[in-house]
């Protein structure tokens, strides 16, 4: 039935009689638990079906009733019908443990609000923890003192408050600070405009709610991709046309019949609520898990960890740290640098070749939009450095560097040994990659060349293409392409077990020895691809040789 518009006069004149005549109904919309797909709550929404005029548009109805000071009567009527339905479902053997009703800001001006609501519940023997009260931010604006008193009175009696339309008003964050809400319902508009921006707002809001022990519901879920996104950020419950429109009582019963087993049993409510508190977006989801959401004090433990991150400025070929996180300082200490100053000296005064390589990588990121990655082994510690240019100004640049150490947790003799030999491997080659031709991908074992990771979704051929374009000197690109020709690779490698040739790279202009060898494997043909620098004399010899053999 289409919603119709009637005059405000019609609404205020006929509303109370319409209740008496049974034309005002609660419609019911299921709220679905994201993790299980079962109903964890049902929202009651008001509908006035006039026999002559048809269904009166709900938003208009609410607005007019608020103006005419009749909204309180509507809300109490919807609450009464909700209690009746709650009991009816119980009697039918299909109990639903939670319902929510909407309250208007005007209700909080009614002196008997608490008594009337408790009275309706008592009359129908419904416990306050079965009925959640949805309120919006504006509800608490009018008279903060009265609101506060009522809030305490209701929560002490066992009611829960849900914030409706969260994010649509002005004071959302203040409300969270001042009151203990059970659930936060994201405003419909975030999904109606399912833009990247709105997704970027929803994700941290979900995290924030969890860190405060507040559950999250998204309303207005209409499409599978919204569902998938909300599941991925850990939003706990979903409401919307994707699952069901608000239904009349009869249609709702039919819906339950069509979906046997869809109701979440009451004893599982707390169980799933607890699991829902896991913050999927936290860097330390296990540590920051807040298992007692109703505890008065928000957990003291920080729900985030610092990344081992530094921000570095480069100018005049010198490196200066602008910022270093504690994790970063800890990691550089493990590498043998007691302070940032010591590390900067290593960078700026060429104390070790390793840092020259590192510095070259950092220099290499300047002006590029990619993340450069380098692996190292130092003092038997395997570490990985990633960097990215943040900003450029004339001859200066700001670069972020992340330095991660891979712990060998149970240091045994074997791992020491492995570390030592991988150290040797590491010293020999600048980069090692495993090629899986059958599975069409390549896997970086390590790289200390300071080049980005080239593995792409497009598979091996695309990876090779991009690598050639970005890294191989123009003069050698064609030869390199033939060398890496995947169609003939197997055949060529089979002859001697490996193929090898020399190519110049863009980054340094030096010659590199590139070798592809077959890795013994029963199941699949695997190849080890390595890049090795050659000695300076050899490098010069190569250049001389090239002068004599320009057609190499
Ligand atoms: P609300 O409490 O935020 O209710 C959700 C609204 O979103 C409902 O509109 C519902 O029909 C609609 N909705 C649910 N799923 C979807 C979806 O997937 N897509 C879209 N586009 N919409 C969806 P409805 O029933 O028209 O109610 C509008 C508003 O009127 C409610 O917003 C609530 O603020 C108010 N309201 C409804 N019933 C009552 C009531 O009994 N008392 C009071 N005070 N306000 C009520
Ligand atoms: Mg609502
Ligand atoms: Mg809403």
Nearest to 159 by CA among 120, 209, 110: 120
**Which of 74, 163, 219 gets mutated to test ligand 1 (max ligand atoms within 8 A of its CB)?**
219
Partners of residue 252 on adjacent β-strands: none
pLDDT, residue 51, reads 94
* pLDDT at res. 415: 58
In degrees and rounded to multiples of 5, residue 510 shows phi and psi of -80, 160
Give the single-character DSSP code of 335. T
Q: What pLDDT shows up at residue 303?
A: 46
Q: Report d(CA 187, CA 68) in Å as an integer.
A: 26
Q: Is 240 exposed, middle or buried (0-12, 13-18, 19+ CB in 10 A)?
A: buried
- Ligand 1 interacting residues, C-beta cut-off 6 A: 29, 45-46, 58-59, 62, 71, 74-75, 78, 102-104, 134, 164-165, 188, 219-222, 239-241, 246
Helix 113-123 vs helix 71-91: crossing angle, to nearest 10:
20
Nearest of 263, 285, 281 to residue 272 by alpha carbon: 263
Structural domains of the chain, ranges and CATH numbers in brackets: 3-264 (3.20.20.450), 293-406 (3.30.450.20), 409-548 (3.30.450.20)
pTM, entire model: 0.71
Q: How many CA atoms lie within 13 A of 519 on its CB side?
A: 15
Q: What's the pLDDT score for residue 305? A: 59
pLDDT score recorded for residue 407: 62
Please tell me the distance between residue 301's alpha carbon and the centre of ligand 1 in angstroms: 38
What residues pair up with 501 in beta bridges, in sequence order? 514
Q: Report yes or no: 135 and 103 within 8 Å, Cβ to Cβ.
A: yes
For residue 329, the CA-to-ligand 3 centroid distance in Å is 46
DSSP-derived secondary structure letter, 138: G
Query: How far is residue 484's CA from residue 499's CA, in Å, rounded to a whole number?
Result: 10
pLDDT at 433: 87
Counting Cα atoms < 13 Å in the Cβ hemisphere of 242 gives 21
Residue nearest to atom 45 of ligand 1 (CA): 102
CA of residue 460 to ligand 2 center, whole Å: 52
The pLDDT averaged over each successive group of 10 residues in the chain (552 residues) is 79 96 98 96 97 92 96 98 98 98 94 97 98 88 85 96 88 76 94 93 92 93 96 95 98 98 95 88 74 55 66 86 87 86 84 65 78 72 81 85 72 58 74 85 77 65 86 91 91 87 83 87 81 76 69 54
Tokens for 328, please give them. Answer: 């970063």
Counting from 1 in the atom list of ligand 1, the atom nearest the Cα of 45 is: 38
Half-sphere exposure of residue 39, counting CA atoms within 13 Å on the CB side?
23
Alpha carbon of 43 to ligand 1 centroid (Å): 9
């Amino acid at each position: 039935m289409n919603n119709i518009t009637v005059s405000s006069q019609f609404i205020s004149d006929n509303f109370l009689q319409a209740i008496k005549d049974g034309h005002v109904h609660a419609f019911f919309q299921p709220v679905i638990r994201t993790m299980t797909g079962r109903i964890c709550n049902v929202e009651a929404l008001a509908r006035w079906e006039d026999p002559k005029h048809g269904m009166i548009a709900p938003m208009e109805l609410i607005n007019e009733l608020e103006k005419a000071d009749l909204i309180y009567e509507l809300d109490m009527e919807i609450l009464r019908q909700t209690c009746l339905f709650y009991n009816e479902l119980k009697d039918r053997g299909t109990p639903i443990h939670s319902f929510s009703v909407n309250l208007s800001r005007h209700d909080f001006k009614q002196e008997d609000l608490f008594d009337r609501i408790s009275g309706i519940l008592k009359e129908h023997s419904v416990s306050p923890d079965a009925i959640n009260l949805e309120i919006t931010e504006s509800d608490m604006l009018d008279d903060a003192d009265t609101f506060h008193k009522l809030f305490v009175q209701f929560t002490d009696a066992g009611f829960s408050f849900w914030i409706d339309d969260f994010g649509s008003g002005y004071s959302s964050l203040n409300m969270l600070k001042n009151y203990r809400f059970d659930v936060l319902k994201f405003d419909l508009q975030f999904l109606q405009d399912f833009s990247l921006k709105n997704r970027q707002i929803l994700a941290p809001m979900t995290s924030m709610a969890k860190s405060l022990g507040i559950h999250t519901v998204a309303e207005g879920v209409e499409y599978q991709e919204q569902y998938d996104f909300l599941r991925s950020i850990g939003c706990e419950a979903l409401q919307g046309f994707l699952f069901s429109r608000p239904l009349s009582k009869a249609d709702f019963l039919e819906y339950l019949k069509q979906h046997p087993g869809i109701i979440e049993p009451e004893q599982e409510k707390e169980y799933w609520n607890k699991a829902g508190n896991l913050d999927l977006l936290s860097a330390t989801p296990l540590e920051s898990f807040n298992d007692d959401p109703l505890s008065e004090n928000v957990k003291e433990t920080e729900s985030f960890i610092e990344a081992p991150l530094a921000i570095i400025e480069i100018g005049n070929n010198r490196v200066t740290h602008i910022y270093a996180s504690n994790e970063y300082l800890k990691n550089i200490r493990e590498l043998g640098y007691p302070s940032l100053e010591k590390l900067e000296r290593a960078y700026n005064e060429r104390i070790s070749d390793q840092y020259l390589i590192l510095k070259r990588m950092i220099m290499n990121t300047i002006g590029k939009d990619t993340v450069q990655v380098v692996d190292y082994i130092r003092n038997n510690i395997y570490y990985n450095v990633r960097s990215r240019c943040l900003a450029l100004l004339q001859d200066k640049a700001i670069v972020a560097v992340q330095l991660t150490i891979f712990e060998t947790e149970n240091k045994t003799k074997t791992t020491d040994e492995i570390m030592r030999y991988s150290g040797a491997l590491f010293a020999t080659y600048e980069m090692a990659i495993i090629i899986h031709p059958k599975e069409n991908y390549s896997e970086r074992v390590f790289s200390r060349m300071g080049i980005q990771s080239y593995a792409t979704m497009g598979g091996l051929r695309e990876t090779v293409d991009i690598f050639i374009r970005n890294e191989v000197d123009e003069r050698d690109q064609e030869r390199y392409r033939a060398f890496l020709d995947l169609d003939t690779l197997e055949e060529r490698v089979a002859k001697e077990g490996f193929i090898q040739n020399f190519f110049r790279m863009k980054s340094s202009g030096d010659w590199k020895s590139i070798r592809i060898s077959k890795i013994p494997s029963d199941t699949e043909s695997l190849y080890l691809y390595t890049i090795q620098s050659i000695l300076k004399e050899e490098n010069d010899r190569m250049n001389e040789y090239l002068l004599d053999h320009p057609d190499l």
